[in-house]
Each structure stands twice: as structure tokens, then as C-alpha cells.
Structure 1
Amino acid sequence: MFPDREVVIFKRDGIRKTYQELIRDCENLATGLLHLGLEKGDRLGIWSPNHYEWIVTQFASALAGLILVNVNPMYMAKDLCYAIEKVGIKALIAPPSFKKHDYYAMLQEIIPDLEKLPENQGLIRTSRFPNLEHVIIFDKEGRSFRGAWKYSDVTQIGTRQDFQKLEKLEKIIQPDDPANIQYTSGTTGNPKGATLTHHNIVNNAYFVGRRAGYHEHRSIICIPNPLYHCFGCVMGSASAVMHFQTCVFPAPSFESLATLKAVHEEKCTSVYGTPTMFIDMINHPEFNKYVYNSIRSGIISGAPCPPALCEQLVNNFHMKDLQVCYGSTELSPVSHMSILEEPPEERIKSVGHIMNHLESMLVDEEGKCVPIGQKGEVLVRGYSLMHGYWGYEKTEKTDYMLGKWYRTGDIGVMHENGTLSIVGRSKDMIVRGGENIYPTEIEQFLIKHAEIQDVYIIGVPDDRFGEAVCAWIRLDRDSNLTENDIKEYCKDKIAHYKIPKYILFKEENEFPLTVTNKVKKYEMREISIKELRLIQVKSHLEKLLVDKIDF
């Protein structure tokens, strides 16, 4: 419909692509992957920050009936192993490195035979990862790597027969076929692979865009969020494509100044972000250097948003049509979103109304529906509910399902006008600047240290990220481990955002316990706040809090 309209702009890489160019690039990659032997239903991993190749991989995998696996670009070798093994990734696409993360070196660490293979040869065999057959590296400098195909070569090897196969695949792919696996905390244990279908993603992306008004006016959407999150690849790139709009990616990872420049230079009409991202933008010393009068809307999500921040966005960032979104990866992801018919001061009081064609209910501990105005766990059902956790047996659904309803684990209150406010969580998940962190992951990692006897992870208030990771640790009697020792032990082994900011050393009798000898994490949190002198710390920069919201 708009072949010559720009669909993506990657500012740092200097890449601008039209819809016509994007579909051509996606078909070339899809046929290249088919030529390598990937088949419908195979898992294709993308381990990368925001680059054009991420977008191409996203849509190429959908065209070929492959299942895209979003691998967090902050993952270290241990996390990567888990991601590959959990869902049986067959091919992995990545850049050689990003900032301090040497992706290729980590691949060599987990696949030692990689360095014995010739350059530009990505067909691998490893007993540790029996499903993994291909490593594909994209490098702007055009370098070759042992044991890895060049991405540029893969995009050129598709034959006529491969294109014919792709054409046939496009006709047999079904709406309920899995399309995307995203790792999420779930409700218990290690991260699970939330498996989303084409039906889940296409419809959620479409209705988010429609509620944002993308079907009514030309939109240039600035997306500083990571593509490996649903915020970036469903609410962002997929939603824009559904409505033939343009995405602007300021930098490979979030940089507040790069985002402000991108808005100014590209005259963006909408800006996405978590509260932490917007706080960093508004407080950047060069904020007043740029012009933002092109902005009319924006979406804030990923963590609770303080009203004072919303006021700043409406008044100083021109977001008259600011909208709040709420949901979870398991819901593809948006279940609730503000409607533009309500004034801004009303929109920011809640996470909005249930999305079109979805249902929401709040229940008590017995699973019974609570009246309007009373607290209850938020349940959602409808088209957006994931296919399931990859490899998770249907008989094991009881921890995240209540009948046909998905249990979010969040505690909310529904108001008379149908809007929802989130007032707490019934699960232990920590939300740090939009990153979901499940304590069990960190606990299981730290307990492997020979001098640590017991460890518990909780979230405590943080003025920038909303929450920070705090560890309660009981050491061996003869141990001399320090806080710095533990942080060094974590460094380069787990993602940086999982490393505890605070570490409290405790004796066995200092852990608050229930009558059944389970730790009371809510009491631990209260104690930690007092000991760390965080009583006055509010989620998301106390300096933005004001007594009166003036729109």
C-alpha cells in the first residue's frame, strides 16, 4: 500500500528502509535460512541489541514459519546456554559484540569446537546443544568468524527452489502456529519460554495501534525500548507495520540523549518508554536543547508510572495523547490501555481499560470474583493468551491458570468506569526499570558459591529504576566474603541487571519465618528498607513528585 514509505530508521547505524526494501530483505533472509535446512516450526534465536537485522529476522522468521526466540542481549554465557537448551534453538543470529559484551567469545566458551572450524562455515555439531546447527554473525565491518556463517552470505544463497518453498509455506502457516518465544519469569522457578502465536501477536499489535490512533493519522514512532521485549517488537515494530507507520530506533540500546536527538531530527510524533527511560530523558542536561513540538502522543509501560512523571510528559514533552499500557509477555503483551477519549488527568490515574476482545476479572484468594473497588488478583482471558510455556505440560498449568483465565500475579482494583489500578504483586517478581527479574534465578546462582549457606533475593525501592535487587546472605561461619567479593563473583556470569545492588549479611536467627519455616519476604523487604535507609525513597525519582498535578 505504501511501498516507498520508510518503515524503519536506525539512527546510529545510518540505515533507512522502505516497506518495499524491508519485504525484499525479509524474503532474502527467509530463503537463505530455508537453504540452510531450517524447517517450519524450527526455533531461530536472535541475540542482539536493536539493529536492522533484528527487524529483518523478526519478519523473515514469520514468513518462513520459523519460531523466533528473543534472547536478551545482556545475557552472559550461562544465560545463553539456558536459552538455547530450553527451547532447542536450531540457528542463532547475533553480532560479534556489543559494548562490553563479546558475543562471539561467549559462543566460543560454550562451543569450544567453534574455533576449530573454518571461517564462514556455520554448520556446527555439538553434543551439549544437539538441536543447534547454525551460528550466523552479522558484522558491519564485514569480518569473518570461525564456525559462523556471514549474515550477508545467508541473505544471498536462496535459490529459485527456496523462493518457491517460501511461497508454499506462506500459504500453509496457520494463525495458531507458534511464532515467537520470549523468556519471562512466569510465576515460579527459572525463566520460561512464553510461546506466542501469529494470532496473538498480530491482533495485539493491531489493537494497540488502533487504540493509539495509528489508523487515523501519520505516525513516526520513536522506540528506544529493546526489541527483545514485547514492548519493542509487538507494541513497537509489529504495531507500526500493521498500520503502515514508521519506526525510529535512536541507538542499539537505550541512550537518553540519542533518543532526544532522534525525536528532534526525525520529527517523531510518538515516543515509547518505561518510566525510567522517560525520567532519564526529561532530566538530561541537554533536554532543552531540542524541539519536541512534533510529539503528540506516547506510550509508557513496563513499570508503575507516578502521576508527576506523566504531568512532565504532557507539559514538557508535548504528549497530550499520552497513554499507559499494562500487561505481561504471556498476554502478547497488552491487556489494558488508556483510551484517548478520556482527558490526560484521568488517563494517568490507572493502567486503562481492558483491550478490545479481551476480558478481565479480579479474584480473591479462593478464586472468587471481588466487587468493584475491592482488591484482587488480576485475571485476563481472550485471544492474546499465549499458546503456553514451551515444553510445559498442559497438566502443569495450575500455577498460572484459573480455568481459562490467566493469573497475572498482580493485585489490582477495578473502578466504576472500568479502568484498572495496580496496587501490588502477589508474586516475588522484581521490576527494575522495565526488566522483570525472578528472585529464584539469582538465588540458585548465588547458592552455588562454596561459602554461601543461604540466600534470599527481594526487591527494594529505587529512585531511578523503581526497584533494586537486594540479597540477604548467610555465610559459612569461617567465611570472610565481602559485598564486593560477591558482586565480583556475579560479574560476567549473570546479566548485570540481576546483580544485587544491596547485600545484607545475616545470621540464621535473623531471617523472619512463618510457622512452617518459610521466609517472610514482605518482612525482609520492610527490614531492608529500614536498614538501608530507603524509607524516603519512592519509586521513580522523588524529585518528580509534586503536590498538585496541573494539566
Structure 2
Amino acid sequence: MNQPSYTRGRQDRPLLEQTIGQAFAATVARHADREALVVRHQGVRYTWQQLAEQVDAHARALMALGVNTGDRVGIWAPNCAQWCILQLASAKVGAILVNINPAYRVAELDYVLRQSGCRWLVCADAFKTSDYHAMVQALVPELATAALGELASESLPQLRGVISLAGQPPQGFLPWQALAERAGQTSLEAYTARQQSLQFDQPVNIQYTSGTTGAPKGATLSHYNILNNGWMVGESLALTEHDRMVIPVPLYHCFGMVMANLGCITHGSTMIYPNDAFDPELTLRAVAEERASILYGVPTMFIAMLDHPSRQQLDLSSLRSGIMAGATCPIEVMRRVIEQMHMAQVQIAYGMTETSPVSLQTGPDDELELRVATVGRTQPQLETKLIDEHGCIVPRGQIGELCTRGYSVMLGYWDNPQASADAIDPARWMHSGDLAVMDEQGYVRIVGRNKDMIIRGGENIYPRELEEFFYTHPAVADAQVIGIPCSKYGEEVVAWIKLHPGHTATVEELHSWCKARMAHFKVPRHYRLVDEFPMTVTGKVQKFRMREISLAEIGKT
């Protein structure tokens, strides 16, 4: 009988039985005078001691505003120093930080604030095309006349006030710089007592899923969940206080606030934010000028950096490692990152928000082929299994749905017991919805999403396989494959293709190239040459939008 597709990660790396505040304090004590946070677009440089002073002042100020253990505090802003400060300050007073997507509009903001029951909201003034102040004013017009902390909103009855990161916000907003001035209203004794009352398995963060199949759900994560996940990711990278990490991924997502921030905080490594949002040139310059050793990003970010004209003029030789995650990692892109960006030890991490996020990761000593073709093995102190449609574990080498169990599995979806029960079974396995194959050594290869699998004329087609195939074409920089309904075959294959700068390829050439190299039923029926894909702020391709666009276009032909 074949070995079952089940593995347990290493058990020799103990978990941290601490709150985020305790772990942060320990790092400050060890590395007080070392550089902790560099925010290049704001001109901010803090040592660990200076960052701790900022965190403590804002934590005490939150208590002065009446923030209690378990209260929800929302953060609606792009990457900035205040994001990091609030992440730590809210954790130190036992509040639950609610991450709000910077791209949200009024209706989405209203839903998240209402569903989570936020007591306070911290927001930027504006970002890209979004005027945050205007949207908040439209949502809670009562803010302009409310006394501080006494907002009584008809639409958001639990919201007590809004703190703005702007220097001079409109009437009713509390300026961020005025927040810290309230620290003295909370005694050091009260602040210390609050911290001592906290438990490491209490909730500390709510992150909303994308909501492509209905209303967003708030994954509720504890100190234990995310502190340990950041710790374990950093352990795999062998982070130390000498490492400097460039963080171009958004902080509102687990990649930024857990894998990056908490990974650095647990190891004393320097956090470097190159900009408020991803910019390939600013990220490359941050690496070169800060002599960074670690770089994080999703595949589309690495593609943009690899193809940017400034890359070859900048010295990236300080890099040694990093993480590529957040979306399917193309093999050819991985090879180029290793060869052209000096990231010989770069690793792939796989996971989901509901698992804090990483559950599988390649290792620094893995052979190149394993690091470019798989998402690694089960992380320490976690379990992985692949199951069929009946819930039975499939043999190694067969496709099954990936499930994760262990310390990283979320507490549940906030105030949504039915959705929690649908995602986490009675044995506490988190069902991912991803289809995967496990080999004899326990390495896992993701082949697609349950919902993304294309069934054409009775044949199962996995988009990931086709996407990897397109990367072998010299002109193709990126590829995304989807299925759309077809009356004859059930579904047809559509390939969206992005070409390398300076390269050309026609639809006819791509089609002929495919026909000569793959089974006929896999060959795409339709192609779309594009400059970019519909994407979320975190760099994930929105395949549901691609389907909508493709259907609208093909329906007209």
C-alpha cells in the first residue's frame, strides 16, 4: 500500500509561549541600540529602544482613550511607520487590530467596521485614488460635531472615534501626533497591569479574506498564532540581528505584518519599508542602499524588479535570501531570482490567512529543483494531509485537497460560527480549497484551486501546469490560465499572457507553439495579450475578474 499523504513538521523547534508584547520587549532588551525600523519614504529611522518608546507612548494613549482588552481597533493605511507602531501598541494593551484593505471603498469600509464592531479607526488621509477622510465623513457625518471618544453614529453604533495620520485632519478627527500626548493620562502601573493580564492565546488580529465568493470573513488570529508563525518563518531563513529585510509587501496582509514584521521582531532583524506601496525601482534601491540581506515579495513583484531597467545598475550583492509567496511561484521566475538577484537561499512559502499564514516552506538546504518546483514541506509543529472528496487521505503522488492542523490555525471567523465550522472540521483541520500532490519525501506541489480546475470534455486541466509551461517561452514574462463556460465541452481554456519588455509574440505564434508541445485538450482556445492582470493590493491575481472580462469579450465575438 502506498504511503499516505500525511506529514508532521519538525518537533525540535519549540513554540513561543509569549504575547507579542513580551516578545517585543525581549528583543528591545537584547538589541536596544541596533536599528529596528527604517521607513524610507517618511525619513524614519528607529533603534529598538526608540521604537519601544513610540510603542509604549501610543499604547498608553490608547488606554487613555478607553481602549480595553478585546476592543477592536481598525487600521486603514498603506505601509508607514505608524502601522508598525499601532500593530505593537494595540497588542500591548490587549486590543484586536483589524486590518482594513487600503483599496476598500465606502461600502466595504462600512461592512468591516460594522462586522468587527470597531471602537476606534486609525486612517491615512489619502492613498492613490482614495480620499480616506472623505469616505469616513460620508460614512459617519456625526464625527464633525462629536466630542472626542463620544461619537454616536447611527450606522456604526460601536465606533467611538477616528484617529488620522494626517498633520491637520478635518474637524472631528484626532491627529496621530496628538494621540501620544495622552500617554501621561495612563499611569505606568495601569499599563503594566494591563500587559500582565494578557494571555498568549487571546485574539490580537482580524484579517478579512478577499470575499470573492460572498461577504469577506474576518479570520481571527491570536498572539500564539501569528507570533509563532513569524518566528518559524524567520527560523527557516536563519534570521539574526545582523539581517536587514526589505518589505515591499503590504502590512495589512499576513505577508507584511506576520512573516515580515513579526519575523524581524522575534529575531532582532531590521525592518525596511521602501515605500507606501510597491514600486520596483524604489524596492531595488532600498536593497542596494540599505545593504539588505533579505527581500520579500510575491511573484509579480519579483517579475517587475527583474525586468526593471535599473536592476543591472544597482548592487544587489548584499542579498542572500528571502521569501517568494502569496501566489503561485513560477519556476522560471524563481530561477532568475536566484541567478540574477543573488538570492541563492530564497525560499518559497505557502499558506493562507486562516493559518497565520505559512504552513509549508522550502528549506535553505533544499536542492534547487525542490525549491523551484514545490512549496516545501510541513512547517515545524504543524501537520499536513491531502484528502479526496470523501475526506479520506489520498496516497502519495495523487491529487487531494490540502488541509493544515496545529498552532497556526485561526481561532475562527469573527462572529461567524457557521463559516468557521465550514472551514475548520471537528478535528481542527483547516481546509484550504487548494489541490496538491505530496511526494515520497513529503514535499508538496500545488496544482491549483478546487474552484480553478478546468474540466474540458471530461478531462481535468490544472491551470498551474499550463502557466508553468508558458514560462518556458522566451517572450513570456507572466501567464494566467482560466476556464470559461462552453456549450460543447463544458469549459474552454483561456490564457492571459504578459510579454517581457522588448519581446513580441502574436496569438497565432503562441497557439502554434502550444499545439506542438502539449496534449490537444490542454491547448488554450482563447488568448489575451495584456500589460497587467486584475490584482488585489497583495499582488494576488483576481481570476474571477479575468473570467468576467473574458466572458464579456468572447461573448461579443
Bin the TM-score by the shorter chain.
0.7 to 0.9
Task: Report the TM-score, using the length of structure 1 for normalisation.
Answer: 0.78
Residues 2-21 of structure 1 aligned to structure 2 (within 5 Å) = 2-21=31-50
Distance across 1 between alignment mates of 2:94 and 2:354: 20
Whether the 8 Å CA contact 1:40–1:64 is kept in 2: the answer is yes
Equivalence for 2:7: none
Equivalence for 1:42: 71
Question: C-alpha displacement at 1:98, in angstroms?
Answer: 1.7
Which deviations, in whole Å up to 9, do the C-alpha atoms of 1:47-95 show, x marking residues without a partner? 0000000000000011000000000111111110011011100000011
Matched, 1:109 2:138: yes
Equivalence for 2:279: 255
Range with bigger deviation, 198-207 or 105-114: 105-114
Whether the 8 Å CA contact 1:413–1:422 is kept in 2: the answer is yes
Give the 3 Å change call, closer, same or farther, for CA 186–336 of structure 1 in structure 2: farther
Paired residue for 1:146, among 171, 183, 202? 171
Question: C-alpha displacement at 1:403, in angstroms?
Answer: 2.8
Distance across 1 between alignment mates of 2:183 and 2:129: 34
Residues 229-268 of structure 1 aligned to structure 2 (within 5 Å) = 229-268=253-292
Question: C-alpha displacement at 1:202, in angstroms?
Answer: 1.0
Whether the 8 Å CA contact 1:42–1:89 is kept in 2: the answer is yes
Whether the 8 Å CA contact 1:199–1:383 is kept in 2: the answer is yes
Question: C-alpha displacement at 1:498, in angstroms?
Answer: 7.0
Give ranges in structure 2 of 5+ residues lacking alignment.
1-29, 454-462, 465-491, 500-538
Whether the 8 Å CA contact 2:370–2:376 is kept in 1: the answer is no
Question: C-alpha displacement at 1:165, in angstroms?
Answer: 1.7
Q: Letter of the aligned partner of 2:442 in structure 1?
A: G
Which deviations, in whole Å up to 9, do the C-alpha atoms of 1:182-240 show, x marking residues without a partner? 0014795311000000000111111110011114x721111100000000000001110
Distance across 2 between alignment mates of 1:61 and 1:367: 39
Whether the 8 Å CA contact 2:412–2:420 is kept in 1: the answer is no
The 3-state SS of whatever aligns with 1:159 is helix
Distance across 2 between alignment mates of 1:158 and 1:112: 28
Q: Letter of the aligned partner of 1:127 in structure 2?
A: E
Give the 3 Å change call, closer, same or farther, for CA 88–459 of structure 1 in structure 2: farther
Give the 3 Å change call, closer, same or farther, for CA 13–357 of structure 1 in structure 2: same
Distance across 2 between alignment mates of 1:240 and 1:19: 11
Give the 3 Å change call, closer, same or farther, for CA 385–160 of structure 1 in structure 2: same
Choose between structure 1 and 2 for higher RCO, CA contacts under 8 A separated by at least 6 residues: 2
Whether the 8 Å CA contact 1:63–1:170 is kept in 2: the answer is yes
Whether the 8 Å CA contact 2:120–2:161 is kept in 1: the answer is yes
Which deviations, in whole Å up to 9, do the C-alpha atoms of 1:321-379 show, x marking residues without a partner? 01000000000000000111112232111001100000000000000000010000001
The 3-state SS of whatever aligns with 2:363 is coil
Question: C-alpha displacement at 1:163, in angstroms?
Answer: 2.8
Paired residue for 1:362, among 386, 391, 399? 386
Give the 3 Å change call, closer, same or farther, for CA 316–528 of structure 1 in structure 2: farther
Give the 3 Å change call, closer, same or farther, for CA 269–32 of structure 1 in structure 2: same
Matched, 1:63 2:92: yes
Distance across 1 between alignment mates of 2:185 and 2:116: 31
Which deviations, in whole Å up to 9, do the C-alpha atoms of 1:399-439 show, x marking residues without a partner? 443632110000000011111110011146999xxxxxxxx
| Identity rate, percent | 37
Q: Letter of the aligned partner of 1:324 in structure 2?
A: I
Matched, 1:375 2:399: yes
Equivalence for 1:329: 353
The 3-state SS of whatever aligns with 1:408 is strand
> Deviation above 3 Å: which 4+ runs of structure 1?
115-118, 185-188, 427-431, 458-465, 495-505, 527-533
Equivalence for 1:385: 409
Which deviations, in whole Å up to 9, do the C-alpha atoms of 1:257-278 show, x marking residues without a partner? 1001101100110110000000
Give the 3 Å change call, closer, same or farther, for CA 496–214 of structure 1 in structure 2: closer
Which deviations, in whole Å up to 9, do the C-alpha atoms of 1:26-63 show, x marking residues without a partner? 11111111101111100000000000000000000110
Matched, 1:342 2:366: yes
The 3-state SS of whatever aligns with 1:89 is coil
Question: C-alpha displacement at 1:160, in angstroms?
Answer: 5.8
Q: Letter of the aligned partner of 2:176 in structure 1?
A: Y
Q: Letter of the aligned partner of 2:398 in structure 1?
A: Q
Distance across 2 between alignment mates of 1:253 and 1:53: 15
Equivalence for 2:214: 189
The 3-state SS of whatever aligns with 2:68 is coil
Distance across 1 between alignment mates of 2:103 and 2:446: 28
The 3-state SS of whatever aligns with 2:182 is coil
The 3-state SS of whatever aligns with 1:360 is strand
The 3-state SS of whatever aligns with 1:132 is coil
Equivalence for 1:401: 425
The 3-state SS of whatever aligns with 2:50 is helix
Give the 3 Å change call, closer, same or farther, for CA 71–460 of structure 1 in structure 2: farther
Distance across 2 between alignment mates of 1:496 and 1:348: 19
Question: C-alpha displacement at 1:100, in angstroms?
Answer: 1.7
Distance across 2 between alignment mates of 1:387 and 1:496: 24
The 3-state SS of whatever aligns with 1:78 is helix
Task: Report the TM-score, using the length of structure 2 for normalisation.
Answer: 0.77
Give the 3 Å change call, closer, same or farther, for CA 464–155 of structure 1 in structure 2: farther
Aligned pair count reads 455
Give ranges in structure 1 of 5+ residues lacking alignment.
432-457, 466-494, 506-524, 534-551
Distance across 2 between alignment mates of 1:396 and 1:499: 24
